[in-house]
Amino acid sequence: MDSPTSSFPSVKATLARLGLSPRKGLGQHFLVSTGAVAAILRAAEIGPDDMVVEVGPGLGVMTFELVQRAKRVIAVELDQELAVAVERELGTAKLKMVCADAREVDITELSGGEPYKLVANLPYYAASPILRRFLESQHPPTRAVIMVQREVARNMAAQPGDMSLMSVGIQLYGRPRIVKNVPPASFYPPPNVTSAIVRIDVYPRPALALDDTESFFKVVRAGFSAPRKQLRNTLAQGLVIRAEEALALLEMAGVDPSRRPATLSLEEWGALYRSVQERGTYTGSGSGSISSPRTE
């Protein structure tokens, strides 16, 4: 089992000294594992010329290591008391603490328009919207190395046959791979689930040339509206169109109507979207984009 990081030998003692305690409402599980920290650092490949945006620095275990390697670190922390304490503890000009909600922060303003790498130990309840905020921004990271719930990590990296709405959403913007599973004992307090480190190599531009990303995700969401059913049925249900029209769209895209949504590749979703656009099919009013299963 991984041992606590040497820079913070006792997370309980550190919290007591700072007069802080984990806040359940913010989903705080502080990373204390040297093995997980080392795996994140290897995956991120931080160099002396890199700027890093860290989301969820916690007690600064990862932050401490990042400021030793990077040119500059911008850490985004929602908990103001924690942000002030970590900035005071580390005390370096290379670190800028920003007290903000990463689901709402202005990415371009945060990074100053410079290239950056994203490193994040994401709270389970907000992992999807935070990652979406960064990947879909006008100024996405060049690489993202994130800690999420293991089931979410598997969804991100799934291949055709096991794809989901999240798989499509992540893989439109980058290539994900699972680096390491991280057990509950690697955190304080330990969560009830196993986590995983995911590396996403972000593309310079989305994998599909889309004229309307929101409409694309409406089509994908429609396809996954009943994931165990055949596409001829899920597409008709999700787009609120006649079965005959759904069949025509699938044939136009070169997709077998009897297939299930999990079997389609990203390119096939692109072809289906183009069919919808060309035929002017109504795509409903629900919002599109990445979503994740309910977590604790």
235: left (phi over 0), alpha (psi -120 to 50) or beta: alpha
Q: Which pLDDT tens digit goes with each residue over 87-141?
A: 988 888 999 999 999 999 999 999 999 999 999 999 888 999 999 999 999 999 9
**244 contact partners, CB below 8 Å, separation of at least 6:** none
Domains along the chain with CATH numbers: 11-202 (3.40.50.150), 213-279 (1.10.8.100)
User: For residue 264, which of 164, 155, 157, 156 has the smallest C-alpha distance?
Assistant: 164
Residue 107 is encoded by which pair of tokens? 């990415």
Residue 61 is encoded by which pair of tokens? 């275990």
Residue 254 has pLDDT above 60, yes or no: yes
Of residues 7 and 71, more confidently modeled = 71
Note the Cα 273 to chain centre separation in Å.
24
Residue type, 163: M
How far apart are alpha carbons 232 and 245 in whole angstroms?
A: 9
Q: Is cis: bond before 189, omega within 30 of 0?
A: yes
Q: Which pLDDT tens digit goes with each residue over 29-49?
A: 888 888 999 999 999 999 999
Q: Which pLDDT tens digit goes with each residue over 163-205?
A: 999 999 999 999 999 999 999 999 988 999 999 999 999 999 9
Least confident of 80-94, 133-147, 153-167: 80-94
* C-beta separation of 218 from 236 below 8 A: no
Residue 233 is encoded by which pair of tokens? 């049925």
**pTM confidence score:** 0.88
Name the helix (H) or strand (E) containing 274.
helix 266-279
